[in-house]
């Protein structure tokens, strides 16, 4: 039996005026997902506990079958694993965004204009991060350049008792109230503030402004934590598997769970991503012997963060056609498989950040534990009238074990 998960990050949404009162999932043309929903088991899953941060890290950890209340130790250590950076037990990893702040002075009066610096290219970002490292790094600190605006700071013996804010949660807001607080917060504040003294005039940024792009005017540190210790997916389910994602966070989750992280050329994490290649690489992993493949597509979430309903509809349609559609036709070569299409959390266009409502999942062929309901379509309302998994991490048990007790299947 082959198991495939296709996850469209942040797809669920609210009814939007600009879409005639429909949600992007209702408005988008999604023949493949609707076909699956007509024949499959459709319900919803609560992936983010009320006491946890509403992040893709927590949500994807739950979807992968791990209880975040027990295993979650911060976002950046997962990203470090995805970037191939091995943390020592005393290391604290922090996400280092390149962001666009307004020109207001002093620093705390600046406004968070763009958490992604206009989705700056990796090549440009690497120059800037190197400059930050050369000018500001203290003993025991190391900067690692990542993809686009997403980078990493590892701080040997650093504190985790910090209150740090994800920059995508404060778009359009003055940053003062959201600057680092807690143990040794002044160290991080200095790095952030001083970066804004030389980044705006860096040649990379001058060129970006000339070409009509946003400048990366400051670093922004958040998501701190130490290396997590997950039981391996193999121990849990007896399956060997792979994870495919453009996002280091999801790759790293897979790595921490003992899955193989597969690099796909052209996977960017935004609308320009090569959707079809993800499906093709996923199918190849199955041919090469993987029992389980987890394909994560970031683009709908990015569109939600940018508050762009049209772009979100487009991302959902591309996910449907080029990932789900390709999988539907490609999976026919395997005698037995089970496919789950789902999301991790809503990223509603009006709020431009993640929310905690349960999200849709669809399993085909159905497990048989819940009836296939008439009139199935892949959208929020239909999902909400089906079964609900209150503890998100139990959905993977259900998907893989299909109603069997875990003890019967796993030795």
- Residue 204 or 255 having the CB closest to Zn ion: 255
Q: Is 23 in the site for Zn ion (CB under 5 A)?
A: no
Closest contact distance (angstroms) between CB of 345 and Zn ion is 5
Buried b (16+ CB within 10 A) or exposed e, 62-81: bbbbbebeebbbbbbbbbbb
**Choices 32-40, 51-59, 139-147, 398-406 (CB under 5 A): range interacting with Zn ion:** 51-59
Pair of tokens at residue 276: 């079809």
* Alpha-carbon gap, residue 301 to 318, rounded angstroms: 13
Which residues in 321-340 contact Zn ion (CB under 5 A)?
A: none
Return the residue matching tokens 């005639």: 20
Name which of 180 and 269 has its Cβ closer to Zn ion: 269
The span of 6-14, 70-78, 83-91, 272-280 binding Zn ion (CB under 5 A) equals: 6-14
- Residue 9 sits in the site that holds Zn ion (CB under 5 A): yes
Shortest gap between Cβ of 241 and Zn ion (angstroms)?
20
Q: Which stretch binds Zn ion (CB under 5 A): 9-17, 139-147, 187-195, 211-219?
A: 9-17
Q: Which is nearer to Zn ion, 301 or 379 (CB)?
A: 301
343 binds Zn ion (CB under 5 A): no
Q: Is 13 among the residues that bind Zn ion (CB under 5 A)?
A: no
Range in contact with Zn ion (rule: CB under 5 A) among 3-11, 164-172, 214-222, 231-239: 3-11
> Minimum distance from CB of 178 to Zn ion (Å)?
20
Nearest residue to 217 via CA among 149, 123, 133, 138: 149
Q: In this complex, which beta carbon is closest to Zn ion, that of residue 59 or of residue 264?
A: 59
CB nearer to Zn ion: give 300 or 325.
Answer: 300
3 state SS for 80-140: HHHCCCCCCCCEEEEEEEEEEECCCCCHHHCEEEECCCCCCCHHHHHHHHHHHHHHHCCCC
Give dist(CA 226, CA 358) in Å, integer: 28
Residue nearest to Zn ion according to CB distances in the complex = 56
Residue 56 found at the interface with Zn ion (CB under 5 A): yes
Pairing between β-strand 218-225 and β-strand 181-182 as defined by DSSP bridges = unpaired
For Zn ion, the closer of residues 23 and 217 by Cβ is 23
Residue of 13, 91, 119, 344 interacting with Zn ion (CB under 5 A):
344
Sign of the torsion angle spanned by Cα atoms 35, 44, 247, 215: positive
Q: What is the DSSP letter of 337?
A: E
Contact 246/267 with Cβ under 8 angstroms? yes
Cβ-Cβ contacts under 8 Å for 197 (sequence gap 6 or more): none
Q: Are 259 and 304 in contact (CB under 8 A)?
A: no
**Least separation in angstroms between CB 117 and Zn ion:** 20
Residues in the chain: 411
Least distance (Å) between residue 123 CB and Zn ion: 26
| Nearest distance from C-beta of residue 363 to Zn ion, angstroms | 20
State which residue, 56 or 100, has the beta carbon closest to Zn ion: 56
d(CA 301, CA 307): 10
**Binders of Zn ion among 285-304, rule CB under 5 A?**
301
Among residues 41 and 57, whose Cβ is nearest to Zn ion?
A: 57
Structure tokens at 144: 């690692």
Tell me which residues touch Zn ion (CB under 5 A). 9-10, 56, 301, 344
């Amino acid at each position: 039996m082959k198991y495939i998960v296709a996850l469209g990050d942040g797809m669920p949404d609210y009814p939007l005026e600009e879409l005639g009162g429909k949600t992007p999932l209702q408005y988008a043309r999604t023949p493949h997902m609707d076909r699956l929903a007509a024949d499959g088991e459709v319900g919803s899953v609560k992936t983010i506990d009320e006491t946890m941060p509403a992040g893709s890290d927590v949500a994807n950890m739950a979807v992968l079958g791990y209880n975040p209340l027990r295993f979650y130790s911060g976002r950046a250590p997962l990203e470090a694993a995805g970037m191939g950076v091995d943390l020592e037990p005393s290391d604290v990893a922090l996400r280092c965004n390149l962001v666009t702040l307004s020109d207001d002075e002093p620093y705390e009066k600046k406004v968070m204009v763009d958490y992604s610096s206009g989705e700056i290219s990796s090549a440009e970002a690497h120059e800037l991060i190197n400059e930050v490292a050369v000018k500001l790094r203290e003993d025991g600190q190391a900067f690692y350049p990542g993809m686009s605006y997403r980078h990493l700071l590892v701080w040997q013996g650093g504190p985790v008792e910090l209150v740090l804010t994800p920059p995508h949660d404060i778009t359009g807001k003055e940053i003062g109230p959201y600057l680092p607080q807690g143990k040794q917060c002044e160290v991080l504040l200095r790095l952030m503030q001083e970066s804004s003294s030389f980044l705006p005039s860096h040649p990379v940024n001058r060129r970006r402004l000339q070409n009509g792009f946003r400048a990366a005017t400051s670093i922004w540190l958040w998501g701190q934590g130490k290396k997590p210790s997950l039981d391996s997916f193999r121990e849990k389910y007896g399956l060997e598997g792979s994870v495919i994602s453009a996002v280091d966070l999801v790759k790293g989750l897979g790595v921490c769970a003992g899955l193989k992280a597969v690099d796909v050329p052209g996977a960017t994490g935004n609308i320009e991503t090569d959707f079809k290649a993800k499906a093709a690489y996923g199918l190849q992993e199955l041919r090469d012997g993987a029992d389980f493949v987890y394909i994560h597509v970031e683009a709908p979430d990015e569109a939600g963060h940018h508050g762009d309903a049209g772009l979100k509809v487009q991302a959902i349609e591309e996910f449907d056609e080029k990932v789900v559609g390709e999988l539907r036709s490609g999976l026919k070569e395997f005698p037995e498989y089970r496919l789950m299409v789902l999301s991790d959390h809503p990223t509603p266009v009006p709020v431009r950040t993640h929310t905690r409502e349960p999200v849709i999942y669809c399993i085909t062929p159905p497990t048989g534990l819940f009836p296939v309901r008439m009139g199935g379509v892949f959208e929020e309302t239909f999902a909400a009238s089906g079964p609900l998994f209150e503890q998100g991490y139990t959905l993977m048990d259900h998907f893989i074990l299909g109603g069997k007790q875990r003890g019967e299947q796993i030795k």
